[in-house]
Amino acid sequence: MDNVEVEENLFSISDAKLHGEMYKKLSAIYCKVSSIFPSLEAARPGSKSGIQALCSLHIALEKAKNVQHCSTSSKLYLAITGDSVLLKFQRAKCALIDSLKRIEDMVPQSIGWQILEIVNELEGTVFSLDLFEKQVGDEIITLLQNGRKFEECNDTNELESFHQAASRLGISSSRATLTERRALKKVIERARVEEDKRKESIVAYLLHLMRKYSKLFRSEVSDDDSQGSTPCSPTVLGSLEDGGSGGSGCAFERQLSKLNSFNFKPNIRKSGQIPLPPEELRCPISLQLMYEPVVIASGQTYERICIEKWFSDGHDTCPKTQQKLPHLSLTPNYCVKGLIASWCEQNEVPIPDAPQESLDLNHWRLALSASETANSRSMDNFGSLEVNESENESLCPQEEVSEINVLERYQEFLSVLNEEENLMESSKVVEQIRLLLKDDEEARIFMGANGFVEGLLRFLESAVHEGNAMALEIGAMALFNLAVNNNSSGVIRLLESMISNSNAHEAATALYLNLSCLEQAKSIIGSSKAVLFLVQLLGHETDAQCKLDALHTLYNLSTDHSNILNLLSAGIVNHLQSLVVSGDHTWTEKSITVLINLTSSETAKEEMVSASDLITGLASVLDAGKPIEQEQAVSCLLLLCNGNEKCSQIVLQEGVIPALVSMSVNGTTRGREMSQRLLMLFREQRQRDHPPANINQIVLESSQDPTPALASAPESKPLCKSISRRKGGKALRLGFLWKIKNYFVYQR
């Protein structure tokens, strides 16, 4: 890509409407990286890691290119989302640094020096908001806060504040106001595509203000700008056009109040009839269907790449709840991942195979939360702008409800759970509980201690009895959310009643998976009937996702050493052996990982070595498995063979030496290390079995007792035969490998 073309077509500095200084810094670095990118491609880093690094750099460049929105978006919107825009620049910087460092050592030195210079420049680049633009953004936010208080038509203060803020942003002519209105409409269209009603309503109010006060700028151009943008949706802006400039403010207030009853249940988008995933399956940061959902300490679930970026930017709070986190560890949420797979299958949507790039990464929400934390501003006046996810408006909490009313509302929920016989009516309440538990930690604590677990279990039993799949899913998700902070509230005991009903196996397995992520729950589950149930699922012809959930749950349980004997008693080794031998990549990696966890027990190691086909299956993975599967297989074999010569002999009889040699050169980084260590282990054992001896000793021993020398000959034959059998008759002389003393390096 030509450097001049990059500058002219992508990063014309004069086009930046706001945040020009940051725009200028990043654009200069972007052009430098783009100028050497053809050289990086020409260098052709041949290894898998090299190709991945090159792809990573390409993705980082695409992310950096996204800052073009500074030249195309609305000035008003850029001003109020300044903190979020800053985060976007910082993320682009971090992505470029990471990807450049990954590829630096894989290219010729001449290009490597250029990369090093760019990395140093990036690390020395500091992005910060322009104080003037930040002040204007704060004023507009204050105007939005106060704007909803104008119930009369006396808008003098609002008029003066908005005119002053708009003028300071350069919106001071009829042409500028027309450009700004078109830009705001585009932001609304994007919010509508994302189904972000909150963002849509806020930007709609900004557009309302622009239209209302356009006359201040002596409009010389007609407001009929349909050729530049699409008319706004009547669902949000229809009431803005009624009643003239004075009445539209009151109409907009009524429109905002209607948004409180907006339903966030899965729906269908108008364009192309593409189904919109439920909110719990979308990342709160990117608003996209999650690829790798993880749970943080607050109990919220996020896309891994998004929350890692949030933490890497220096935050130690939950982006959604603003709760300060006691730790920043991430726990894979296999339950949500399973629900995503099920939802995709039901709606004929491709399952995500990589993290999706969001159109906006929900910058408005991040901007508000960051702004609240940094400046201690109260956003209470935006209460009605929050989209309430309730389905039943009569059950929605008011903005300033008292603690007593909250408790009364919880008691009403519990009464419905305990007394309502109509499953449809109960489902509505359970849906409210599910949404409430998702975001409110205090609600989770209260409900966990006041009988809601039992009530939800009764609801699930009714759903199973009536065969209502939708009610079963809603109830399972509600119990899922409740279990996040209530691992000792009797859920385990009550779940045991579900596993006796085959119709509830999928829901029960998903809940066990969720609970097994909690350290305190692992030993409780491990000593319950759940272990036998989960192990037996591995051998049943059941739903693939259900079996995968069971396997992931068993993996979590196997990390607790106290559970291993119970797992062995349930026959887990034989079931894992069957999955490994099957050759199905769906199960291989996780099955071997569970086996690795089991090797912490000597009893488990003995059972695994005695399993007739397990070693054969692991050897087959070394030959034909995926790189990550090979890495896990060689790690497992190393753990089994270390200190166990019998196991080493069994493994060698499978002819694994050629595969190990290949892995030591072409495997993953850890795979190379593990294969070298296993080869070294075999070599050391061979040296112990056949120590060097001088001729006199050999003659003396031979004259005294020739039997040992003769007896040793047959022992070596099975090895050669096995290798010949596995490699098409081409026997590999092991002695040759042992002579290459300096080829393999023992690493720890």
pLDDT digit string (tens) for 520-557? 678 888 888 889 999 998 888 778 888 888 899 999 89
> Residue 397, Cβ neighbours under 10 Å: how many?
14
Average pLDDT of 361-370? 38
> Residue 599, Cβ neighbours under 10 Å: how many?
18
Q: Specify the CATH number for 571-701+709-748; select among 1.25.10.10, 2.40.30.110, 2.40.170.20, 3.20.20.80.
A: 1.25.10.10
Note the pLDDT of residue 277.
80
Average pLDDT of 398-410? 56
Of the candidates 436, 420, 431, 502, the one whose C-alpha atom is nearest the C-alpha of residue 470 is: 431
Reported as half-sphere exposure (CB side, CA atoms, 13 A), residue 423 has a value of 17
Note the pLDDT of residue 156.
65
Domain ranges in the chain are 3-128, 132-262, 268-379, 402-486, 489-570, 571-701+709-748
**Which tokens in the block code for residue 543?**
């739903």
Residue 24 one-letter amino acid: K
Average pLDDT of 165-183? 81
Alpha-carbon separation of residue 595 from 567, 579, 640 (angstroms): 11, 11, 10
Rounded to an integer, what distance in angstroms lies between the CA atom of residue 229 and that of residue 231?
Answer: 7
- Classify each residue of 193-226 as buried b or exposed e, where b means 16 or more C-beta atoms within 10 Å of its C-beta: ebbbbbbbbbbbbbbbbbbbbbeebeeeeeeeee
Q: Specify the CATH number for 268-379; select among 1.10.3720.10, 1.10.10.10, 3.30.40.10, 3.90.1200.10.
A: 3.30.40.10
Place of tokens 């009313």: 405
Residue 564, pLDDT above cutoff 50: yes
Average pLDDT of 156-168? 77
Average pLDDT of 222-249? 34
Dihedral class, residue 451 (left if φ above 0, else alpha if ψ from -120 to 50, else beta): left
Mean pLDDT of all residues in the chain? 71
How confident is the model over 468-509, as pLDDT tens digits?
A: 777 877 877 787 777 655 544 456 665 776 777 677 787 778
Note the pLDDT of residue 554.
92
Residue 271, pLDDT above cutoff 60: no
Average pLDDT of 288-296? 86
Residue 629, pLDDT above cutoff 60: yes
Confidence band, pLDDT 50/70/90 cuts, at residue 309: confident
Residue 636, pLDDT above cutoff 90: yes
Note the pLDDT of residue 147.
58
Rounded to an integer, what distance in angstroms lies between the CA atom of residue 185 and that of residue 191?
Answer: 10
Note the pLDDT of residue 274.
56
Average pLDDT of 149-163? 61
Note the pLDDT of residue 145.
72
Note the pLDDT of residue 528.
85
**DSSP SS3 for 738:** helix
Residue 15, pLDDT above cutoff 60: no
Rounded to an integer, what distance in angstroms lies between the CA atom of residue 730 and that of residue 570?
Answer: 42
Note the pLDDT of residue 522.
83
Domains 268-379 and 571-701+709-748 share a fold: no
Please give the biggest Cα pair distance in the chain. Answer: 119
Rounded to an integer, what distance in angstroms lies between the CA atom of residue 72 and that of residue 45?
Answer: 37
Residue 570, pLDDT above cutoff 60: yes
Note the pLDDT of residue 400.
37
Residue 126, pLDDT above cutoff 80: yes
Residue 87, pLDDT above cutoff 60: yes
Query: Cβ(298)–Cβ(311) under 8 Å?
Result: no
Higher pLDDT, 118 or 442: 118
Report the relative pairing of strands 301-303 and 293-295 from DSSP bridges: antiparallel
Task: Identify the helix (H) or strand (E) that includes residue 532.
Answer: helix 530-539
* DSSP conformational letter for 590: H
